[in-house]
Chain A
């Protein structure tokens, strides 16, 4: 009986778990509820994958009101893939959270933290699964508001300004999105995405639709931290608690990327905007700039969390580069990297969280010689760093391989060179951490350190193993991504 309601339960279970945490206000209980809800959501996503592979697109009518009149939850191969990434990354991160939050917060604050985490999860899952444009905005706000609170709970007082900065930028982004949605509604009279996709071609040469497209582009680009609109991201990731950084880096920007391809390829897919406007070229240029500028800035960061936050901006550049090709191979590369980067970056932030837990700092000078005292943690960072680089045998290689293939298919030889060059810059900043951690004498503070607790290492190592696994066995990651890309290019919803 419940199987038919999985699309709703996917969002509802985390949504109900959040107030439960807030009512009980007990740290341990809150953690148990969060783990249970997150694992349930992951199981639901896996079941949905199998159902979508078997039956095709699933449509669920909220409240029994038939779409397009009511709100529709629509699960197809594209968003089920993203659901899998979001819930999967969350399921690994949340067991990690216990030790760190219990050491830092009192009982009530721990419960609030899990409440906010679950609300952020709810919002992200809602954005992904819903087939209604206004519903997207509502869920986007739920997840954003919850993430502002999570970021503000960081150890550093600068977390407050980082959260405030993100709040201002995020609100502008959300406002632009709702303006865009409003104009589309005015022109087509519908909010259902499938309906929109059908009706937009009829009015595609009117100015309001173009303006709506512009608002949506800027709004979503802000949320996904595309190059010139990424300024909120480094501070937010650097000063947030480790769990929040890992979760947001692994999921929030990924969901924004999903939203981006959904709007452009599905909703506007039939209207030919990609061939009549210079959007692809614009994104190509911005992506390449992001790949280089953000990587170079990352090299000169002294805070390692901030360094990998800038690295996120660069890696998002790799993803949007794939999107800008407007080919099936390009989209496959984008979706594969979305999947692989979520795992790698979440893993790196968890490892940094483990160091933060022991050392209370991730300044690069404080990490001198830490490779000898926390060998397991540092080995994990090295493997994940190699993944970011794209070394064969890690999942990062698969992403870059597909990206290079897609570039070659379009005849962009020079882009191949740029992709390789950008990966070399990645080597510089990963190398800088490795050099300090392994080849310098431990400082007095590091000399007395112990390895991180197993409750942190095991979840983090699940992500390390996943990085290696998906570098060798690509049936799932590339297989699903290829199907999603084919579906996106067909512009059928």
Chain B
């Protein structure tokens, strides 16, 4: 698949559009259909598509595993931390009202930050699953190669 010119060109054209769409779903989530989960899946899909066409090793150069492994817990921290900020500002846990000058603005900002946390965790979890399963094929290939070489 790595030698298919058409596929490689089309994917390169598509990638920015997919990422843009992911961001749109992310930041338009509170007005229309969408939100952190869907946006996270779309963004991860872009990287996964890149990995499928150009090889997992290339995808890992773009988003290394160490970053993915840090992003998974980071998203949870962003979500839970937003709630702690509301407590520190004197309201109940996850009450976004004090985050902005007006209650509506505070709620707006709060939901955006929380959804961003969801985005980070979902996107990185998708990638982590892809890397683990995709990495298995690589390992199997390598093993087969080594065995051939041994004979």
Most A CB within 10 A of own CB, among B92, B94, B95? B92
Separation of A18 and B91 alpha carbons in the complex (Å): 24
Separation of A16 and B94 alpha carbons in the complex (Å): 14
Q: Is the CB of B84 within 8 A of A16?
A: yes
Whether A405 is near chain B, meaning CB under 8 Å from some CB there, is: no
Separation of A64 and B87 alpha carbons in the complex (Å): 11
Separation of A478 and B80 alpha carbons in the complex (Å): 36
Q: A2-B87, A8-B92, A115-B73 are in contact. List 14 more A-B contacts (CB 8 A).
A: A9-B87, A12-B83, A12-B84, A15-B76, A16-B81, A16-B84, A18-B73, A19-B74, A22-B69, A23-B70, A25-B69, A60-B93, A62-B93, A63-B95
Whether B37 is near chain A, meaning CB under 8 Å from some CB there, is: no
Interface residues of B (CB under 8 A from A): 69-70, 72-74, 76-77, 80-81, 83-84, 87, 90-97
Q: Is the CB of A63 within 8 A of B76?
A: no
Give A45-83 interface residues, CB cut-off 8 Å to B: 60-64
Given contacts A18-B73, A22-B73, is CB(A61)–CB(B80) below 8 Å? no
* A22: B residues at CB distance < 8 A: 69, 72-73
A239 smallest CB distance to B (angstroms): 23
A449 smallest CB distance to B (angstroms): 39
Whether A412 is near chain B, meaning CB under 8 Å from some CB there, is: no
Q: Is the CB of B97 within 8 A of A8?
A: no
* A9: B residues at CB distance < 8 A: 87, 93
19 A-B pairs with C-beta separation under 8 A: A1-B90, A2-B87, A5-B87, A5-B93, A8-B93, A9-B87, A9-B93, A16-B77, A16-B81, A18-B76, A19-B76, A19-B80, A23-B74, A60-B92, A62-B92, A63-B95, A64-B91, A64-B92, A64-B97
* A63: B residues at CB distance < 8 A: 92-96
Give A302-322 interface residues, CB cut-off 8 Å to B: none
Most B CB within 10 A of own CB, among A2, A8, A25? A8
Task: Select which of B69, B72, B83 is within 8 A of A8 by beta carbon.
Answer: B83
Whether A416 is near chain B, meaning CB under 8 Å from some CB there, is: no
Most A CB within 10 A of own CB, among B70, B77, B91, B93? B93
Separation of A15 and B90 alpha carbons in the complex (Å): 20
Whether A20 is near chain B, meaning CB under 8 Å from some CB there, is: yes
A242 smallest CB distance to B (angstroms): 26
B30 smallest CB distance to A (angstroms): 15
* B77: A residues at CB distance < 8 A: 16, 19-20, 23
Residue of A at shortest CB range from B72?
Answer: A22
Separation of A20 and B78 alpha carbons in the complex (Å): 11
Q: Is the CB of B92 within 8 A of A5?
A: yes
Separation of A25 and B65 alpha carbons in the complex (Å): 14
Most A CB within 10 A of own CB, among B73, B74, B84, B95? B73
Q: Is the CB of A12 within 8 A of B90?
A: no
Residue of B at shortest CB range from A111?
Answer: B73
Interface size grouping (class) on chain A: 20 to 34
Q: Is the CB of A16 within 8 A of B92?
A: no
Q: Is the CB of A12 within 8 A of B80?
A: yes
Given contacts A12-B84, A15-B80, A16-B84, is CB(A62)–CB(B94) below 8 Å? yes
* B74: A residues at CB distance < 8 A: 19, 23
Most B CB within 10 A of own CB, among A16, A21, A62? A16
Separation of A16 and B79 alpha carbons in the complex (Å): 9
Residue of A at shortest CB range from B88?
Answer: A1
* B83: A residues at CB distance < 8 A: 8, 12
Separation of A5 and B87 alpha carbons in the complex (Å): 7
Separation of A60 and B96 alpha carbons in the complex (Å): 16
B120 smallest CB distance to A (angstroms): 11
Q: Is the CB of B84 within 8 A of A20?
A: no
B99 smallest CB distance to A (angstroms): 12
* A15: B residues at CB distance < 8 A: 76, 80
* B97: A residues at CB distance < 8 A: 64
B51 smallest CB distance to A (angstroms): 23
A308 smallest CB distance to B (angstroms): 34
Give A1-43 interface residues, CB cut-off 8 Å to B: 1-2, 5, 8-9, 12, 15-16, 18-23, 25
Q: Is the CB of A16 within 8 A of B80?
A: yes
* B90: A residues at CB distance < 8 A: 1
B128 smallest CB distance to A (angstroms): 12
Residue of B at shortest CB range from A119?
Answer: B76
Separation of A15 and B94 alpha carbons in the complex (Å): 14
Separation of A228 and B69 alpha carbons in the complex (Å): 41
Residue of B at shortest CB range from A25?
Answer: B69
* A21: B residues at CB distance < 8 A: 73
Separation of A25 and B97 alpha carbons in the complex (Å): 35
* B96: A residues at CB distance < 8 A: 63
* B76: A residues at CB distance < 8 A: 15, 18-19
* B87: A residues at CB distance < 8 A: 2, 5, 8-9
Separation of A485 and B71 alpha carbons in the complex (Å): 45
Given contacts A2-B87, A5-B87, A23-B77, is CB(A12)–CB(B72) below 8 Å? no
In order of increasing CB-CB distance, the 10 nearest A-B pairs are A19-B73, A64-B95, A8-B93, A22-B73, A63-B94, A19-B76, A64-B92, A19-B77, A16-B80, A23-B73
Q: Is the CB of B93 within 8 A of A12?
A: yes
Separation of A2 and B73 alpha carbons in the complex (Å): 25
* B93: A residues at CB distance < 8 A: 5, 8-9, 12, 60, 62-63
B70 smallest CB distance to A (angstroms): 6
Separation of A25 and B87 alpha carbons in the complex (Å): 28
A61 smallest CB distance to B (angstroms): 6
B123 smallest CB distance to A (angstroms): 15
Residue of A at shortest CB range from B71?
Answer: A23
